[in-house]
Amino acid sequence: MNNNSVNYEKSWSWKRSGSVESCEFQRLNRHDVSVLLNGSWVVVAGDSQARIFALSLLSLVLDSEGMESVKGSLFKRHSDYHTEVDEMGMMLDFMWAPYVTNLTSLVAGFKRNRVYPDLLVMGSGLWHMLHITNASDYGVSLGVLRSSVTSLLPVSSEFGNDESVAVRSPHLFWLGMPTLVNSMLNTAEKREKMTDLVRGEYEREVKRSGMLRQFEGPLHLLDIGSLSWNCGIRCTDDGMHYDGVVYEAGVHVMLNALLIESHQKI
C-alpha cells in the first residue's frame, strides 16, 4: 500500500521479492477477470466487509455506468443482492450473513439442494464481536461451519442408493476481519466492546478452528486485517470500513490464487 501523504493517491502493488516474482502474481485487468470467471457462479456471503469486497470484484468486470447501478442496489442495508454479467456469463450473489450461524445455514442449503457455486467467499465476526462479545462462542460456531464446509469436499451428487456423480468442489475463501482503529469507531458501544484485545481473541479462534488452509483447513485466507493495517488510519473514516483499495487488493489476491489452483495463464 502507498500512504505517504495526506493527499496521497491510494494504490497497491505486489511486494518486490524473488518469491513473489517466481509465483508470477499479476494485476489483472477487466479482460483477464472476464476470462478467469467466465461462466462462473460467485457467492460472497457475510457482513458489510463482504459487501464491500463484492463491490470491488464487480468493479473489475463492470463499466462506470454499470457500477453506479450496482451501488444503489448492493448497499441496501441488511439485504441480499443478485446480478448477472451477461457479457461473461457470470452470476454474483451477495448473501447478507452477519453471523457464522448464517454462513453455516447457507452452506447447508447448497448441500441440501445439490447446487454449488464455483467460487464461495465468506467472512463473519464483527457483528458477533459487537452484539455477543464471546470469543469462545464464536469459536464453537466456526467449528460447526468448518464441518459443514468440509462436507462439500469433494462434492458429489447422489442418485438413488448406489449411483453418484462427482461434481467439482467450489473454490473456498475466508474473508478475514479488518484492523480495528478503536478510537475512530463511531459509537461508545463499539469502542467498549471491539477492543484490540477482543479482536485478538477472535482472530485466535479462527486459527484454532482449523478453517484455514494454512492450518490444514478448507478455506484460503484473504487477509483483510493485514491489508488494512498496511493501508493505515488514513484509509478509514470509521475505524472499521476501509477505502476500496484495501478490498481491491484482496480481490487480486483471490484471483491470483484461482489462477494458481486452476493452472491457468492469462
Closest CA to 231 of 241, 221, 217, 222: 241
> What pLDDT, in 10s, does the model give residues 238-257?
999 999 999 999 999 999 99
Cα→Cα distances 119→11, 42, 140, Å: 26, 5, 25
Helix (H, G, I), strand (E, B) or coil at 196: helix
Residue 234 cell numbers, joined: 488514513
| Per-residue model confidence (pLDDT) at position 11 | 62
Residue 81 has pLDDT above 70, yes or no: yes
- Residue-wise pLDDT tens digits, 215-240: 889 999 999 999 999 999 999 999 99
Sheet containing strand 171-175, edge to edge, reads 81-85, 90-96, 41-46, 119-123, 171-175, 220-222
pLDDT-based confidence at residue 161 (cuts at 50, 70, 90) = very low
Q: Where are the domains of the chain?
A: 26-262
| Residues 141/205, Cβ–Cβ less than 8 Å | no
Q: For domain 26-262, say whether CATH 3.90.226.10 is its number.
A: no
Q: What is the mean pLDDT of residues 85-104?
A: 95
